[in-house]
């Protein structure tokens, strides 16, 4: 089987030298991608297309996997599955084309689109008219429409070689991966950041992944999955890095030292500071985020300017002007939405009264109270892995107990409830235990202090963590279990229990 890969139109309008360089890069990317499926595939670049020839006898599953991969390689506009035969005459060409396309055009409007190179005694228009007439004879319920056909029948003739196109698929478009340099994408696991990273990959940027871990191993597992998915489907021709930075200590320091309305902006600034240092270490010249104007309070134009003020590198925002629904639709198209929908919402730093226009002077004044050693420690603890290693088999995540009723609570040996909410949340909605559990001790440790203080707690007790929605408490319990502290569970209060 032979495939002709048409270049993205923006490649074809480049100067001759740039086009040749991009075509060589795309050819190498195709080889690297298909080698994983079968190393006998042959790839050859030409001026107007790239030819991919499969070995004889290749099984159907591998052939289908190759065809699917070709539609996801940046730089390819169209994939044409072809059969090459020697051209003798228009009559002989019709013998190949009519049986193939007659069932396709039945009941539809169509036109023949011929491309011809070389010396012949007929024009491309002559070829289109002849083949169109033969198709109409064989398919009376079809009709010709030269302006808005439902089906286009493509035919290519190069000198005495006729390319009979059996199928065609739309490619990803964009530029060959790697021709536009490198960037470091900040990944959260939601809808926005994977779409932003995908857009950079499609534009030819070798994109690495940076994750700030705010919610423990369960949070990181989801972000690893979505990052690996993007790389494997759209960027597998290049090796990139996945960097994980533990940021729970940074969150705790923010909650201790930063005024309520500035917390979100300061968190983003600290992430950008850390991202710049990781990018410097890896020699990556640009950052990428999934921020969109006005989606949340930290993403107003004024606050984005305050966030950008701390960066030493350009911050690229591919979804900056996209509507949320458009982002979600794109996430479904690239198959990252299913991961985003299963990710727990992390709500560790949410200001009750966030500033839409945080004054830079106020932000700088607030940051003076922040202990920069906490950020330094987080960066020092960063883990850098190859993206193809992030899904290596690891121990199954620990399970944590969930208690909901007074009977379940009192049945435990020496239970103790820890309210891990912030002080203002506790004051706004105090936790009232049911009468049957009134004797169960209740202590207060904010979640941002829990990881440091957990080791000091009595190992003979069964501690149950409480927060309003149960999300933060489960994340914290899983994080503690990951550290080997298995005497922590979750108390999910049910008022009707």
On whether 290 is known to bind a ligand per the annotation, the reply is yes
First-to-final CA distance of the chain: 66
Q: Which two tokens stand for residue 345?
A: 């919402």
Q: Is the distance from CB of 179 to CB of 21 less than 8 angstroms?
A: yes
Active site residue 467: yes
Distance CA 147, CA 21 (A): 36
Residue 226's φ and ψ, nearest 5 degrees, are: -70, -35
On whether 325 is known to bind a ligand per the annotation, the reply is no
Closest CA to 440 of 448, 449, 431: 431
Q: Is the distance from CB of 132 to CB of 141 less than 8 angstroms?
A: no
On whether 299 is known to bind a ligand per the annotation, the reply is yes
On whether 187 is known to bind a ligand per the annotation, the reply is yes
What is the CB-side half-sphere exposure of residue 415 using CA atoms within 13 A?
22
Longest dimension (CA), the chain: 100
CA angle 161, 164, 165 (to 5 degrees): 135
Q: Which two tokens stand for residue 362?
A: 């106020």
Closest CA to 66 of 45, 44, 36, 46: 36
Coil, helix or strand at residue 191: coil
Q: Is the distance from CB of 189 to CB of 165 less than 8 angstroms?
A: no
On whether 22 is known to bind a ligand per the annotation, the reply is no
Coil, helix or strand at residue 125: helix
Residue of 25, 347, 416, 467 with catalytic role: 467
Closest CA to 201 of 336, 326, 324: 336
Q: Which two tokens stand for residue 102?
A: 């007659």
Q: Which two tokens stand for residue 283?
A: 């020699």
Just list the catalytic residues. Answer: 467
Residue numbering of the annotated binding site = 186-187, 268, 290, 299
Residue numbering of the annotated binding site for ATP = 186-187, 268, 290, 299
């Amino acid at each position: 089987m032979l495939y002709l890969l048409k270049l993205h139109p923006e490649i074809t309008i480049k100067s001759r030298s740039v086009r040749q360089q991009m075509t060589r890069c795309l050819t190498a990317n195709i080889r690297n991608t298909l080698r994983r499926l079968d190393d006998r595939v042959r790839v050859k670049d030409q001026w107007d297309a790239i030819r991919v020839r499969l070995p004889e006898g290749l099984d159907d599953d591998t052939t289908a996997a190759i065809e699917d991969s070709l539609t996801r390689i940046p730089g390819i506009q169209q994939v044409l599955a072809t059969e090459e035969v020697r051209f003798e005459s228009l009559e002989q060409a019709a013998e190949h084309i009519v049986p193939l396309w007659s069932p396709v055009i039945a009941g539809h409007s169509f036109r023949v689109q011929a491309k011809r190179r070389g010396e012949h005694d007929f024009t491309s228009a002559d070829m289109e008219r002849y083949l169109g007439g033969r198709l109409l004879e064989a398919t009376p319920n079809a009709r010709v429409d030269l302006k808005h056909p439902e089906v286009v029948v493509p035919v290519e003739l190069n000198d005495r070689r006729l390319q009979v196109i059996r199928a065609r698929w739309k490619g990803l478009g964009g530029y060959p991966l790697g021709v536009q340099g490198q960037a470091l994408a900040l990944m959260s696991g939601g809808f926005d950041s994977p779409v932003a990273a995908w857009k950079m990959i499609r534009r030819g940027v070798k994109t690495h992944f940076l994750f700030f871990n705010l919610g423990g191993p369960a949070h990181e597992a989801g972000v690893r999955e979505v990052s690996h998915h993007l790389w494997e489907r759209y960027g597998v021709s290049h090796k990139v890095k996945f960097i994980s930075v533990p940021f729970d200590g940074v969150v705790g320091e923010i909650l201790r030292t930063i005024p309520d309305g500035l917390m979100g902006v300061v968190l983003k600034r600290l992430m950008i500071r850390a991202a710049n240092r990781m990018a410097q270490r890896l020699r990556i010249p640009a950052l990428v985020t999934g921020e969109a104007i006005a989606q949340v309070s930290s993403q107003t134009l004024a606050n984005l300017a305050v966030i950008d003020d701390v960066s030493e590198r350009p911050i690229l925002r591919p979804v900056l002007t996209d509507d949320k629904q458009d982002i979600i639709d794109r996430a479904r198209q690239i198959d990252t939405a299913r991961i985003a929908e299963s990710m727990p919402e992390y709500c560790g730093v949410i200001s009750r009264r966030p500033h839409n226009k945080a004054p830079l002077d106020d932000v700088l004044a607030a940051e003076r109270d922040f202990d920069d050693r906490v950020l330094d420690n987080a960066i020092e603890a960063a883990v850098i892995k190859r993206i193809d290693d992030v899904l290596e088999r690891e121990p199954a995540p620990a399970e944590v107990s969930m208690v909901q009723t007074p009977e379940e609570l009192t049945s435990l040996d020496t239970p103790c409830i820890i309210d891990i909410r912030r002080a203002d949340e506790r004051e706004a909605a105090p936790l009232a235990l049911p009468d049957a559990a009134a004797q169960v001790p209740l202590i207060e440790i904010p979640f941002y202090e829990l990881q440091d203080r957990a080791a000091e707690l009595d190992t003979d007790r069964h501690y149950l963590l409480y927060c309003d929605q149960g999300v933060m408490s489960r994340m914290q319990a899983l994080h503690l279990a990951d550290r080997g502290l298995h005497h922590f569970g979750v108390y999910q209060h049910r008022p009707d229990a």
